[in-house]
Structure 1
Amino acid sequence: MHHTPALSSTRHVALAALAACALIAGPAQAALAVGAATPDFTLDAAVGGKAFRFTLSEALRQGPVVLYFYPKSFTSGCTVEAHQFSEATPKFKALGATVVGVSNDSLATQQRFSVEACRGQFAVAADEGGKVIKQFDAGFTLAPSVADRISYVIEPPGRVLAVHASMDPDGHVGAAMAAVQAWQARQGKR
């Protein structure tokens, strides 16, 4: 079979793009280990379509925070994960925990996502430029401003209680819930 130079060139570009995507999609390893201090941050966020400023240290005054990073609003895996967190949010709230998702999407995108995928149950924050993603070492290796799928449970006043890193959206809610429940049980024993 004979290939024309243009077709061959197009094929090489397509193969190079696929290879680059595979490298970028390789998961990062969460650098913040259990027990590590977390950096404080403030980001524009939305819940139920309404914009506000989310500050980690303020949320921690109420109890633990489930801070989950995800790659891109409105993609299939991220939408599945948001649905799972929205269904679990009432139980997290009953345990005194706050749920917040973070990606490098714009605030306008997060406002829509907070209604459509998060169903108004929890906030999603806009980390355009990926500053907070980088602070939590939650980015992809070759694209550090794009969030990997990493969930942290942070206990007051700001220490990592648990980490769950997996591109599979299933498992994040369960791991976070188990960590919050264990934390809550320890609080009752004090």
Structure 2
Amino acid sequence: MSASIINAISRFFRYYNEHCVSPNVDTLFSLLNSAHSLNDKLNSEMKINFFDLSEFVALKALRNFFHHEGELHSEIRMINCQEFQIFSDLMHLCLIRSEVAEKVIDGLDKRRRKIDENIIRNQFKWYGNVVDINPTLFNFSVHVFETVESLDLFIDDECYEEFSESYQMEEHQGFDHFIKGEIRCQIGNANTVLENLFSNVKNG
């Protein structure tokens, strides 16, 4: 196993940890790019390809759109669930405008358009004119962890170890490692609440 793959795995989980603890547009872009890079390295050296995962197909399409479109900070919001009385599997929502998600779909390769469009619509969580992508990021990270574990690698990285400890705790308590990513709001209809938050909350 090459050092470049080990480093790419560590980098992915460091960016994932940053995105969980203190999410912003930069942590999102870094995480998406690290997923892309890790897949390239695993595919090149070990013929492991995350394109078998629906989560990766959706995230790769989003990453490609962000990469080619450039400045998109105004199209993304990070929402602290506790601050706004939102109940979710995760601490934060990562929202993009639904029109951006539609542009991602419009930019798909025509040869895979029908299949990949269905994947994106099923993977991301759609709420009116906004879309939450964080559940997809989380579930993909679980897939990455399970892939790495199946290779019996030693990853000497604090963030990877933290993810491993959380995974083992879920295992011992009989919890599912993957999440559904549904939300509910105390203060109103989820679609309306998230649309209003997107309009009023500014990225830090």
TM-score range, shorter chain: under 0.3
TM-score, normalised with respect to structure 2: 0.25
The higher radius of gyration belongs to 1
TM-score, normalised with respect to structure 1: 0.26
